[in-house]
Structure 1
Amino acid sequence: MTTADRFAGLYLLDRFRLEYGATSVDVCAGGQRLLAYLGLRRHATRAVLAGTLWPDVTEERAHGSLRTTLWRLHRERPPIVRSGGDTLSLEDTVHVDARALGESALRVVRSPGSVGGESALDLLFGGDLLPGWYEEWVLFERERLRQLRLHALDSVAEHLATQGQHALALEAALESVRMEPLRESAHRAVVSVHLAEHNIAEAVRHYKAFRTLLLAELGVEPSGQFFAMMRHAMT
């Protein structure tokens, strides 16, 4: 095995995938859950892992399943799970795409100008976290990552618009709309970009479409702030 093959990539966006170098490897169901949990939570005790991943069996059997899963993961492969006393974590050589996406989103929210336009969009246009997985810890992490991405996209759209990068700003705003169609801040960002480019007709069309959607789904009007933005633009 080459040096490159000793570095693993754990991919949790769109679907589960584990790669050593350029080689994708099969992982048993228990191993997938174990790696995903450690990839998202960074570390956990054996007791927490056993109880979380095997909740419907006795404690003794859950710990036995954990030991078997660890043995299967390390069989004929470089170890990617590190043991520190009673605590397990992933080795530092393991890249986790969902973790990288969350860290990038946090950086953008804290300092939108610190990340370049196209690179920011590449980092933020990730897929859904482990679609088809419905464990409570997955649902929590999926929503946490979704909210981070939404706030980061809002920040990116606003920053790029002020820099005159209207096409990229619109991409960020529309991605936020796609993720959450009823999120007004995303729609305001779309309209702001259209107004910055003096595309009044596009801004009005988008505002009216959002107003229709909001009335149909929630029975409420857009905020006074959004209405005032449109009224000011058309006067």
Structure 2
Amino acid sequence: MGERPVTGFRSSKAQALLYYLAASGRPQPRATLAGLFWAGVGDYYARRNLNRTLSNLLQLVGDHLIKAREILTFDRSQPYWLDSEILDQAVNTAATSGDTGRLQEALNLYRGEFLAGFYLHDAPEFEQWVLAERTRLNERYLHGLHTLAHLLAGQGDLPGASSAVRRVLQVEPWREEAHRQLTQRRPGPVRALPSGPRHRTRCRT
């Protein structure tokens, strides 16, 4: 991975499997993965399909997968780049670190809905996870923007703080408190709702 985008997937489910392993951030039982992507075909065929799909991934990103008998894990000790993780980390640490530069860079990665345009018609549980992740990342983005507004206002950068609030309004133009904040000296908190721009996740190895 590193700076190289991952290509060469033999199926959409191979691509989805990598997305899920990387973005979920935890070890995944094979039985869970088989049910997530091949529900309704029976355990034998679900396992067989998983093994075939995993074979493709091992060819592409084998160094980034820890393969145990019943568990698969994305290996974060290897070089990789995942925009949703960068956003999470920057938002989590911004309030205490005061690092507005890092926070702004992370927020600029948010360019659309998580996995926009990517859909598996026969994997409803995977699609439910995608929808939940879209909502979560939208909330993180909005939280990051109002954190940025507070930090910049505290540093005396009122134009920068106002710009952050305007970005909230680009997501949720009906937010009356955000409109009010544009007339205040120090923008106040912006309460995030589960909706927003579309965010396509990117993973590089």
TM class, shorter-length: 0.7 to 0.9
* Equivalent runs, 1:131-142 vs 2, <5 Å: 131-133=116-118, 135-142=127-134
* Equivalent runs, 1:49-88 vs 2, <5 Å: 49-75=33-59, 78-88=62-72
Moved over 6 A (4+): none
Name 1:130's counterpart in structure 2.
115
Name 1:35's counterpart in structure 2.
18
Instruction: Give how far 1:23 is off.
Output: 5.5
Question: Retained in 2: the 8 A contact 1:154–1:189?
Answer: no
Question: What's the secondary structure of 1:88's corresponding residue?
Answer: strand
Name 2:87's counterpart in structure 1.
101
Residue by residue over 1:143-186, the C-alpha shift from the partner in whole angstroms, topping out at 9 and shown as x without a partner, is 01111111121111022112111232122212221122233443
Instruction: Give how far 1:95 is off.
Output: 2.6
d(CA) in 2 for partners of 1:96 and 1:87? Answer: 22
Name 1:26's counterpart in structure 2.
8
Cα distance, 1:60–1:183 mapped onto 2, change above 3 Å: farther
Name 2:160's counterpart in structure 1.
168
Instruction: Give how far 1:78 is off.
Output: 4.0
d(CA) in 2 for partners of 1:76 and 1:176? Answer: 38
Residue by residue over 1:11-34, the C-alpha shift from the partner in whole angstroms, topping out at 9 and shown as x without a partner, is xxxxxxxxxx44652323111111
Query: Amino acid of the residue matched to residue 119 of structure 1?
Result: R
Name 2:147's counterpart in structure 1.
155
Instruction: Give how far 1:37 is off.
Output: 0.9
Question: Retained in 2: the 8 A contact 1:154–1:186?
Answer: no
RMSD of equivalent CA atoms: 2.2
Instruction: Give how far 1:49 is off.
Output: 1.0
Query: Amino acid of the residue matched to residue 123 of structure 1?
Result: A
d(CA) in 2 for partners of 1:26 and 1:185? Answer: 47
Residue by residue over 1:88-111, the C-alpha shift from the partner in whole angstroms, topping out at 9 and shown as x without a partner, is 111121332212212222223xx2
The alignment's TM-score, normalised by the length of structure 1, stands at: 0.65
The alignment's TM-score, normalised by the length of structure 2, stands at: 0.74
Question: Retained in 1: the 8 A contact 2:103–2:144?
Answer: no
Query: Amino acid of the residue matched to residue 130 of structure 1?
Result: L
Structure 2 unaligned residues grouped into runs of 5+:
120-126, 187-205
Question: What's the secondary structure of 2:86's corresponding residue?
Answer: helix
| Structure ranking higher on relative contact order (CA contacts 8 Å, 6+ apart) | 2
The structure with the greater share of residues assigned to helix is 1
Question: What's the secondary structure of 2:151's corresponding residue?
Answer: helix
d(CA) in 1 for partners of 2:5 and 2:82? Answer: 16
Query: Amino acid of the residue matched to residue 63 of structure 2?
Result: P
